Structure 1
Amino acid sequence: MDHDSLNLVFYDVHDPEDKQFWAGSAAHIISGLRKAGQKVTSVGDLVPRLRRVLRASLFHAYRIFRNLHYHPDRHDLVTRFYTAIGNRRLRQHRDADAILTVSAAFAAYLEVPQPIFVLLDATWGQIVEMYPYFAADRQPEHIVRAGYQLDRKAFSKPNLHLVMTSAWAADRAIAEGGMDPRRVHILPFGANFVEEPRRDFVMQAAATRTGKHCNLLFVGREFVRKGGPIAVEIARALKELGVPTTLHVVGSSPENMPGFVKVHGMLKKEIPEQMAQLQNLYATSDFFVMPTRAEAQGIVFNEAAAYALPVAATDVGGVSTVVQKDWGFLLPLEANENEYAVWLRDAFQDRARYKVLSENARNDFEARLSNKVYVQKLIAIIRTTLESSAAA
């Protein structure tokens, strides 16, 4: 192996470089690896027309006739079929040092000699238990059952290594799937920026936050699951505590909002004007608030840290691995809006304290939460694994 450059294959049934796939995380990791001088070949987008037909027909059939959500990526026979095609494609890359993927299900039947690194934010069990859309009573029973079986099969592979985004997810993989702890690593995903906001720009913007009017920022496509209604009540409670407040909502378009809520809708990063608007909201807000009901990681927290925004959020899932106490405030699911509002008021009115929180957020982004740092640490994990294998 050339120690200066790894030869990697990023594999998925879907197109790993499609920025709509997996919220763009896979595409950003691939881009980051290439920028770091590694060779990365994408293998994916398998039989796309057939996948679209199968997904559409089965999804609509289950939705119409049984009022259930159908997830073909957890159908055992479908997964076997797609992976058989993937195995043939991967035979063309026998010289690769390692295989990377973001799907345990599609790693379960992989037949490759190289180490497989699965980059995950949750196990199937955690997804089923936490996300309403994936709840066991909202899916066909055979899909739920197969999801657990696919995880266990993948985790039992001796050449499979998990890179989990949190201790919450890693501990579950070890307990639920019987993973060898030596093959489990904890590494939160980095922020999904095409171009990271420069430190000088961010800190200059942070210095202009006057402490006169509190701007709260909420970013999330799923308004209810991400705690949007609670964020509205937090803003209302903060106003009642005597702090002039505006809540800015991005990513969704809830209706019938009170006057102190400004709804910006979906702002697409690939459209320059909308990206500039999103950057301005991050730069000019005082806090990022997302009392999410279910979250495996929440890359938006990384983005908030990049803009030196202190965070108020729910201590659920893997959020606490990202949001640290020296720049964030985490409360349990049952906490009410007043508890958030009191912390926000106190942090907002104590300007010296606010400045420390803000600087800590940006420092943590640079130390742990950027895509560049994620890629560097991922490369180190891969190299260490390969060197250990060679020495064995």
Structure 2
Amino acid sequence: MSRIGVAFPGDPSEASTWSGTPSGVMRGLAGAGVEPVAINVAPPPLISEAVVNAIALRYLRPQRDVRAAISRGRAAGWASPGLARVISVTAARALRAAGPLDGVVQIGTGYALPADVPIATLEDMTVAQTRERGRAYAGWDTLTPRAFAARLERQRRAYASATAVCLTSGWAADSVLRDYGIPPAKVHVVGIGRNHTAPALERDWSSPRFLFVGMDWPRKNGDGVLRAFERLREERPDARLDLVGGHPEVHAPGVTGHGVLRLDVPEQHARLDRLFGEATCFVMPSFSEAAGVVYVEAAAAGLPSIGTTAGGAGYLIGDGGVVVDPHDDAALLAAMRRLADADVAERTGAAAKLRSERFTWDQVGKRLLRALEGHPAEAEAEPVVR
């Protein structure tokens, strides 16, 4: 049996690491018939903290909000080329300790892997794209031009030396082609798998019920969803909105807040399943969303989605929903109005359910293995409803 390493700055086997993506990759590879080997390339915490704090001091600027200044400085430290060099040293040791390997899936390119085996990189966005998203990704906008250029060059070298460059969406893949000049044949869109699959139930489509799930309320555009829903309810008094995650306390007609629902707590898991089963549309028009796993989780439950044009949501949602400019309240309202129609919502939900079959970790594992074997990338036309 082939042994394929899965490298990440954190324990790839832990479900809590990076929203479960590394552990999902390991499950997908195992499902594809190979032995996944977890390779944690993170330096010891004390070393990481020392490096980040030392770099953060260079980025501290006088301002009234001291905590915000420290936070921005530390964010720059985590994004810096200095920490990337330290992780690369740890990565080399971790790779040697893993023993003989037939290939490696390198999640993230902020470190170098000195491997003599095929490497497939896997990411949901590029360094170049962090500047497109303004302050949505803390630290990147703080780096000096020289430090940012160094991170760009490190990523370019990783892409150039890899057997395959794998991305979770066509949005990220376009950046690899446009900003880094990597040959199209080695750039693969492998998608992403889901970590939560709620049962697809027979639901009442006649009364619109929207579901929002997100921890970062400001970045996920929760306030925009509330504004649009308030206007929609003037036309559809029967409409309801359920909020899950890091939302503020909300007292508004038709809106119910559920707070954080943990999948490892059976009662909360069951409640989240029930909300996915009762909803008629998922809505999360984030200001930036590289690859929202929750979109494919909603699709698997038979829900259409309203997502964002700011990131890779269009690829994940496809014809199973609508993507809108998160800054355009009118477009969001129009999308919610459209999917409040029972026939449209039911039809689009069926398309989402069908599309969700490609977004499992087993499917991702097969695509990663194909990329590692050196097969050329396949072009795929993606329908996106706007």
TMscore range, shorter length = 0.7 to 0.9
Between Structure 1 and Structure 2, which shows a larger proportion of helix residues? 1
Q: Does 1:173 align with 2:176?
A: yes
**1:110-149 → structure 2 map (5 Å cutoff):** 110-130=113-133, 131-134=135-138, 136-139=140-143, 143-149=147-153
- Number of the residue aligned with 2:65: none
- Number of the residue aligned with 2:286: 292
Contact 1:71/1:143 (<8 A) preserved: no
1:243-269 Cα deviation digits (max 9, x unpaired): 422221111131354243222121111
- Residue 213 of structure 2 aligns to which amino acid in structure 1? V
Contact 1:124/1:148 (<8 A) preserved: yes
Q: Does 1:275 align with 2:269?
A: yes
Counterparts of 1:384 and 1:138 in 2: how far apart (Å)?
37
- Number of the residue aligned with 1:96: 101
Counterparts of 1:233 and 1:42 in 2: how far apart (Å)?
44
Counterparts of 2:243 and 2:15 in 1: how far apart (Å)?
23
Contact 1:292/1:313 (<8 A) preserved: yes
**1:117-266 → structure 2 map (5 Å cutoff):** 117-130=120-133, 131-134=135-138, 136-139=140-143, 143-157=147-161, 159-193=162-196, 196-197=197-198, 201-202=199-200, 205=201, 207-212=202-207, 214-266=208-260
Q: 1:25 aligns with which of 3, 18, 21?
A: 21
Q: 2:333 aligns with which of 320, 334, 341?
A: 341
Counterparts of 1:232 and 1:58 in 2: how far apart (Å)?
41
Counterparts of 2:253 and 2:57 in 1: how far apart (Å)?
42
Q: Does 1:41 align with 2:46?
A: no
TM-score normalised per structure 1:
0.85
C-alpha deviation, 1:362, in angstroms: 0.9
- Residue 341 of structure 1 aligns to which amino acid in structure 2? L
Q: 1:328 aligns with which of 321, 331, 352?
A: 321
> In 2 relative to 1, CA 295–343 (structure 1 residues): closer, same or farther, beyond 3 Å?
closer
C-alpha deviation, 1:137, in angstroms: 4.2
- Number of the residue aligned with 2:2: 6
Counterparts of 1:51 and 1:33 in 2: how far apart (Å)?
31
Q: Which moved more, 1:288-297 or 1:139-148?
A: 139-148
- Residue 35 of structure 1 aligns to which amino acid in structure 2? G
Counterparts of 2:48 and 2:83 in 1: how far apart (Å)?
13
Contact 2:79/2:140 (<8 A) preserved: no
> In 2 relative to 1, CA 284–93 (structure 1 residues): closer, same or farther, beyond 3 Å?
same
Contact 1:223/1:252 (<8 A) preserved: yes
Contact 2:52/2:77 (<8 A) preserved: no
TM-score normalised per structure 2:
0.86
Counterparts of 1:350 and 1:49 in 2: how far apart (Å)?
52
Contact 2:281/2:339 (<8 A) preserved: no
C-alpha deviation, 1:99, in angstroms: 0.9
Q: Which moved more, 1:66-75 or 1:31-40?
A: 66-75
Contact 1:305/1:364 (<8 A) preserved: yes
- Residue 192 of structure 1 aligns to which amino acid in structure 2? N
C-alpha deviation, 1:160, in angstroms: 4.1
SS of residue matched to 1:105: coil
Counterparts of 2:332 and 2:128 in 1: how far apart (Å)?
30
Contact 1:74/1:150 (<8 A) preserved: no
C-alpha deviation, 1:55, in angstroms: 5.9
C-alpha deviation, 1:165, in angstroms: 1.5
| Percent of aligned pairs sharing the same letter | 24
Counterparts of 2:95 and 2:41 in 1: how far apart (Å)?
13
SS of residue matched to 1:344: helix
Q: Which moved more, 1:111-120 or 1:58-67?
A: 58-67
> In 2 relative to 1, CA 146–267 (structure 1 residues): closer, same or farther, beyond 3 Å?
farther
The list of structure 1 runs, each at least 4 consecutive aligned residues, that deviate by more than 6 angstroms after superposition, is none
Counterparts of 1:357 and 1:13 in 2: how far apart (Å)?
38
SS of residue matched to 1:119: strand
Counterparts of 1:81 and 1:346 in 2: how far apart (Å)?
51
Contact 1:74/1:143 (<8 A) preserved: no
Counterparts of 1:61 and 1:305 in 2: how far apart (Å)?
45
Consecutive unaligned residues in structure 2, runs of 5 or more: 63-68, 377-386
- Number of the residue aligned with 2:361: 371
